């Protein structure tokens, strides 16, 4: 275990995320093969690739939903490879899910409140929060940030699809996130909702970095500074959006040549 | 499974919640008045055999409601925990078996509550790694094992005979064994547990438990330790079940393995499901229905020329009817009936609706 001093010194200098030789096997299937990836603090990156390229598995390994079969994962300098998900989350990692993973039988505000509570003390508290509770305020602000204040008392099960996607983002913003993994946040959204999403992503404070899985190039290109291309569980290209777009290999494999 | 579909109502937003008293509705006030003045209108028999018994069974079923309704964990071991607490009071306190320890009642109760939380933690630790039907299976196995153990073990549990001669304590100058004091004692414990569960369901602990019910994986991805939280829920539920179990021992003056049998465990499950596991008041409604049926079904059956021992048939048919028509139990029927009255004129339903 690292000492506190080591951890503190690591915070200043280290990369936000550092994967070294991460491999994940499902039986005989290799979903991730020897993936190495470095993300600087505050960096905004997209991971692109066809279905089955290993993008969501990559996210699952980073958050600890599935441990990697081999390789190491460092989060702000700290080796978190063996940590359970909640320990990584408490250190400032967040994620959203491709298929909304919310709490349908709780209200919108309660969903966000749980997200705020999960990364602070008092997770086992038997005392009801007061109206003036700081976390209730934080939750209300987040609900406002994703434009859901008007329906904050509704059960999540009653929400429209686009609203659930927005709530997904609010949950990921709770507490003090340092790196957020967005898994296809724009999937299934209307053009208006996409514009709202782009606005939310680009208005995040500069110290919050994120990795976004996105099929919609128009969304991805507007909100990231770097792109990682994946294919068959491997990373095969990395670079600025313009380079990736211009790359003939990428065009053939992923964009099908037809994309402007 | 019908249990899983039952909706957790009684949930209003943490921030927009109204103060207690404003939440009172006329039906609740009426029920409160009726149960308080019950000793003035009912016979001792009805007082203890119907209502007192329903409060005690309801308290044990409430512990199951807490786990199943808020935690999504159907535990058949709640009767085991209640019976264990009863046995501790019987063994450590004054009893009619030679070689009894004869601890004062309050010390025996304290020991029973503490040891029950330990048992709750053990049951929880075994059960939380499973989901759905496997939770039911493992808690059923625990219940069956404890039943056979008490049946065979004479050194501690006095085997099949059980332990008798357990007095209801006398304190504050009141003989709590008398019908009216005992009625109020059971009512007090039931209300206390009901209030505690209602309150905790809106506190971070209870909210997080409901989050775990809805999506455990996401709760881990929000920073919660899901399994530790589930074990803590078993511990809290064990305390409630233990209170019910201690009262039952005082009520009967004895405890035998039948109190922790598998059929007793299933009765509690039926009570919770019939009443409704979506709201803490549900188990008490279920327990009242059960107590009435079990007490009077015999006479009704005999009147129709049937075997009186078939009262379980009536309970079974009632269970089928309830589960078939309303997965949320009697409470669900009530909520639907009220919603239908409000339909049309009322705005879209808010999460705050349905506070009993």
Secondary structure of B189-207 in HEC code, one letter for each residue: HHHHHHHHHHHHCCCHHHH
Question: From the list B15, B215, B224, which residue is nearest A118 (CB)?
Answer: B224
> In which region does residue B170 sit, left (phi positive, over 0), alpha (psi from -120 to 50) or beta (all else)?
beta
Residues A72-79 have a mean pLDDT of: 93
**Cβ A62 vs Cβ A19: under 8 Å:** yes
Higher pLDDT, residue B298 or B52: B52
Q: Which residues of A touch B348 (CB under 8 A)?
A: 154, 158
Please say if the pLDDT value at position A212 is more than 90.
yes
* Whole-angstrom distance, CA of residue A132 vs CA of residue A137: 7
Question: From the list A63, A110, A154, which residue is nearest B14 (CB)?
Answer: A110
What φ, ψ does residue A29 adopt, rounded to 5°?
A: -85, 125
**pLDDT computed for residue B259 by the predictor:** 92
Q: Does A90 touch chain B (CB under 8 A)?
A: yes
Residue ranges of A 148-167 with Cβ closer than 8 A to chain B: 152-155, 158
Please say if the pLDDT value at position B345 is more than 70.
no
**pLDDT computed for residue B9 by the predictor:** 37
Q: Which ipTM was obtained for this model? A: 0.81
**Cβ A78 vs Cβ A10: under 8 Å:** yes
pTM (two decimals): 0.84
* Whole-angstrom distance, CA of residue B268 vs CA of residue B281: 14
Helix (H) or strand (E) holding A220: helix A217-223
**Cβ B23 vs Cβ B294: under 8 Å:** no
**pLDDT computed for residue B348 by the predictor:** 47
Mutate to test the interface with A, among B195, B351, B352, B355 (most CBs of A within 10 A): B351
Among A12-21, A89-98, B18-27, B95-104, the minimum mean pLDDT is found in B18-27
Nearest CA to CA, how far is B19 from chain A (Å)?
10
**Closest to B288 (Cα-Cα) out of B64, B85, B62, B87:** B62
What digits encode the pLDDT tens for the residues B151-190? 998 888 888 888 888 888 888 887 888 888 999 999 999 9
Residues with Cβ within 8 Å of residue B71, at least 6 apart in sequence = B209, B210, B212, B213, B230, B233
Nearest CA to CA, how far is A228 from chain B (Å)?
24
What digits encode the pLDDT tens for the residues A92-121? 999 998 888 899 999 999 999 999 998 888
Select the highest-mean-pLDDT range: B133-142, B150-159, B345-354: B133-142
Average pLDDT over chain B reads 84
* Whole-angstrom distance, CA of residue B208 vs CA of residue B196: 16
Q: How confident is the model at residue B59 (pLDDT cuts 50, 70, 90)?
A: very high
Question: From the list A114, A115, A136, which residue is nearest B15 (CB)?
Answer: A136
Please say if the pLDDT value at position B111 is more than 80.
yes
Q: How confident is the model at residue B137 (pLDDT cuts 50, 70, 90)?
A: very high
Question: From the list A90, A102, A174, which residue is nearest B215 (CB)?
Answer: A102
Mutate to test the interface with A, among B200, B204, B350 (most CBs of A within 10 A): B204
Please say if the pLDDT value at position B347 is more than 70.
no
Please say if the pLDDT value at position B356 is more than 80.
no
Nearest CA to CA, how far is B140 from chain A (Å)?
28
* Whole-angstrom distance, CA of residue B241 vs CA of residue B116: 9
**pLDDT computed for residue A3 by the predictor:** 57
**pLDDT computed for residue B124 by the predictor:** 95
Binding-site residues on chain B for chain A (CB distance < 8 A): 7-8, 11-17, 199-200, 202-205, 207-208, 210-211, 213-215, 217-226, 229, 232, 348-352
Please say if the pLDDT value at position A259 is more than 80.
no
Residues A16-29 have a mean pLDDT of: 92
**pLDDT computed for residue B23 by the predictor:** 61
Q: Parallel, antiparallel, or unpaired: how do β-strands A179-183 and A93-95 relate?
A: parallel
**pLDDT computed for residue B18 by the predictor:** 46
C-beta neighbour count of A7 within 10 angstroms: 15
Please say if the pLDDT value at position B107 is more than 80.
yes
C-beta neighbour count of B265 within 10 angstroms: 27
**pLDDT computed for residue B22 by the predictor:** 57
Dihedral of alpha carbons B155, B156, B160, B162, sign: positive
Please say if the pLDDT value at position B351 is more than 80.
no
**pLDDT computed for residue A260 by the predictor:** 40
Contact call for A114 and B217, based on CB within 8 A? no
Q: How confident is the model at residue B113 (pLDDT cuts 50, 70, 90)?
A: very high
Higher pLDDT, residue B207 or A12: B207
Counting Cα atoms < 13 Å in the Cβ hemisphere of B8 gives 31
Segments in chain B forming alpha helices (H)? 2-5, 26-41, 44-45, 53-65, 78-92, 105-127, 133-152, 179-200, 204-214, 216-220, 226-252, 262-275, 282-303, 311-325, 329-342
**pLDDT computed for residue B188 by the predictor:** 95
**Cβ A68 vs Cβ A24: under 8 Å:** yes
Please say if the pLDDT value at position B349 is more than 60.
no
**pLDDT computed for residue B40 by the predictor:** 80
Q: Which residues of A touch B199 (CB under 8 A)?
A: 126, 128
Mutate to test the interface with A, among B212, B221, B227, B233 (most CBs of A within 10 A): B221
Q: Does A118 touch chain B (CB under 8 A)?
A: yes
* Whole-angstrom distance, CA of residue B129 vs CA of residue B151: 29
Sorted by where each begins, the domain ranges of chain B are: 17-343
Question: From the list B205, B211, B349, which residue is nearest A125 (CB)?
Answer: B205
What φ, ψ does residue A70 adopt, rounded to 5°?
A: -155, 170
Contact call for A115 and B222, based on CB within 8 A? yes
CATH 1.10.10 fits domain B17-343: no
**HEC secondary structure over A149-193:** HHHCCCEHHHCCHHHHHHHHHHHHHCCCCCEEEEECCCCCCCHHH
Nearest CA to CA, how far is A10 from chain B (Å)?
22
With tokens 């491709």, the residue in question is A98
Contact call for B12 and A153, based on CB within 8 A? yes
Question: From the list B7, B203, B221, which residue is nearest A126 (CB)?
Answer: B203
Q: How confident is the model at residue B224 (pLDDT cuts 50, 70, 90)?
A: very high
* Whole-angstrom distance, CA of residue A106 vs CA of residue A99: 18
**pLDDT computed for residue A254 by the predictor:** 63
Higher pLDDT, residue A41 or B293: A41
């Amino acid at each position: 275990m690292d000492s506190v001093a080591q951890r503190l010194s690591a915070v200043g200098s280290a990369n936000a995320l550092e994967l070294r030789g991460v491999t994940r096997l499902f039986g005989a299937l290799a979903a991730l093969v020897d993936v190495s990836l470095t993300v600087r603090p505050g960096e905004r990156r997209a991971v692109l690739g066809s279905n089955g390229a290993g993008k969501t598995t990559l996210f699952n390994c980073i958050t600890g939903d599935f441990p990697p079969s081999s390789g190491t994962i460092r989060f702000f300098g700290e080796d978190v490879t063996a940590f359970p998900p909640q320990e990584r989350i408490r250190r400032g990692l967040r994620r959203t899910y491709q298929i909304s993973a919310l709490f349908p039988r709780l209200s919108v505000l309660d969903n966000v409140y749980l997200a705020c509570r999960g990364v602070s003390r008092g997770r086992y508290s038997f005392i009801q929060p007061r109206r003036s509770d700081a976390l209730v305020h934080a939750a209300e602000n987040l609900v406002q940030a994703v434009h859901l204040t008007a329906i904050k008392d509704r059960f999540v099960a009653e929400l429209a699809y686009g609203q659930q996607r927005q709530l997904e983002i609010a949950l990921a913003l709770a507490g003090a996130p340092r790196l957020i993994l967005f898994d296809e946040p724009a999937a299934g959204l209307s053009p208006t909702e996409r514009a709202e999403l782009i606005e939310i992503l680009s208005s995040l404070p500069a110290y919050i970095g994120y990795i976004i899985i996105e099929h919609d190039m128009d969304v991805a290109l507007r909100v990231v500074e770097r792109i990682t291309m994946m294919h068959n569980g491997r990373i095969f290209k990395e670079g600025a959006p313009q380079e990736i777009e211009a790359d003939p290999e990428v065009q053939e494999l992923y964009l099908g040549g037809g994309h402007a | 499974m019908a249990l899983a579909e039952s909706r957790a109502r009684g949930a209003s937003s943490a921030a927009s919640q109204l103060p207690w008293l404003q939440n009172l509705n006329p039906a609740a006030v009426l029920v409160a008045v009726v149960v308080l003045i019950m000793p003035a209108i009912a016979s001792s028999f009805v007082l203890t055999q119907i209502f007192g018994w329903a409060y005690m069974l309801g308290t044990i079923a409430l512990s199951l409601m807490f786990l199943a309704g808020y935690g999504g964990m159907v535990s058949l071991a709640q009767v085991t925990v209640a019976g264990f607490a009863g046995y501790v009071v019987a063994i450590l306190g004054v009893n009619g078996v030679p070689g009894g320890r004869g601890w004062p009642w309050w010390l025996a109760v304290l020991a029973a509550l503490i040891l029950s939380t330990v048992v709750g933690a053990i049951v929880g630790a075994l059960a939380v790694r499973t989901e759905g039907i496997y939770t039911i299976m493992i808690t059923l196995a625990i219940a069956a094992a404890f039943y056979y153990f008490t049946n065979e073990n004479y050194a501690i549990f006095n085997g099949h005979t059980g332990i008798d001669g357990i007095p209801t304590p006398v304190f504050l100058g009141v003989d709590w064994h008398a019908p009216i004091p005992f009625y109020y004692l059971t009512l007090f414990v039931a209300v206390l547990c009901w209030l505690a569960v209602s309150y905790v369901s809106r506190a971070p602990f209870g909210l997080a438990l409901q989050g775990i019910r809805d999506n455990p994986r996401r709760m881990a991805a929000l920073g919660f330790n899901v399994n530790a939280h589930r074990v803590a829920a078993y511990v809290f539920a064990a305390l409630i079940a233990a209170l019910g179990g201690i009262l039952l021992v005082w009520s009967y003056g004895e405890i035998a393995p039948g109190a922790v049998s598998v059929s007793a465990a299933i009765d509690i499950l039926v009570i919770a499901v019939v009443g409704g596991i979506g709201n803490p008041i549900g188990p008490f409604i279920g327990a009242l229905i059960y107590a009435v049926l079990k007490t009077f079904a015999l006479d009704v059956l005999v009147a129709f020329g049937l075997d009186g021992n078939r009262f379980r048939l009536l309970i079974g048919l009632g269970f089928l009817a309830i589960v078939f028509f309303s997965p949320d139990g009697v409470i669900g029927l009530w909520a639907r009936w009220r919603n239908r009255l409000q339909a049309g004129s009322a705005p879209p339903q808010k999460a705050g609706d349905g506070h009993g």
